Amino acid sequence: MDITFLQPDGLVRSPAFSHAVVIPPGATTVYIGGQNGVDASGAVVSPDVGAQALRALDNARVALESAGATLDNVVSWTILIDQEADLRAAYGAVAATLARDGAPPLVTAARVAGLGVPGALIEVSAIAATIRD
């Protein structure tokens, strides 16, 4: 039993994302709620979107690990970025961390007018799946 990422004919092929994923019965699914670039006290770590993106991803990693998963187990990312933030700077800061062997995860991204945490420029949430040995 494997988790299968699909990039079907007729849809754009990208090294950055897949279009569908099939999670087999018996897999453990982990849902990670929105993570901002904040420290353990809830304070925004920097006015820089790249620094916030790295921290948001690190916060997602900590949440995943608490459930027995890793960044490599993520099957889907949702990324919300403030409409005034530099998208290239945010992606550039995290691209190397998100790179992995094999097919990429699903990605949904949106530019938004604002986020719930004052000063936050980015928020990420994730769905991960693990196969039990």
DSSP 43-91: -B--S-HHHHHHHHHHHHHHHHHHTT--GGGEEEEEEEEETTS-HHHHH
> Torsion-angle region of residue 81: left (phi > 0), alpha (psi -120 to 50) or beta?
beta
Q: Where does the pLDDT of residue 38 fall: very low under 50, low under 70, confident under 90, or very high at 90 and above?
A: very high
Average pLDDT value for residue range 30-35: 98
The strand pairing partners of 78, in sequence order, are 108, 125
Q: Where does the pLDDT of residue 133 fall: very low under 50, low under 70, confident under 90, or very high at 90 and above?
A: confident
- Residue 1: pLDDT above 80? no
- Residue 93: pLDDT above 90? yes
What global pTM score does this model have? 0.94
Contact partners, residue 98, CB within 8 Å, separation at least 6: 57, 71, 77
Q: What is the pLDDT of residue 17?
A: 94
Strand 20-22, strand 4-6: pairing: antiparallel
Task: Give the residue with greater pLDDT, 130 vs 1.
Answer: 130
pLDDT in tens, 105-131: 999 999 999 999 999 999 999 999 999
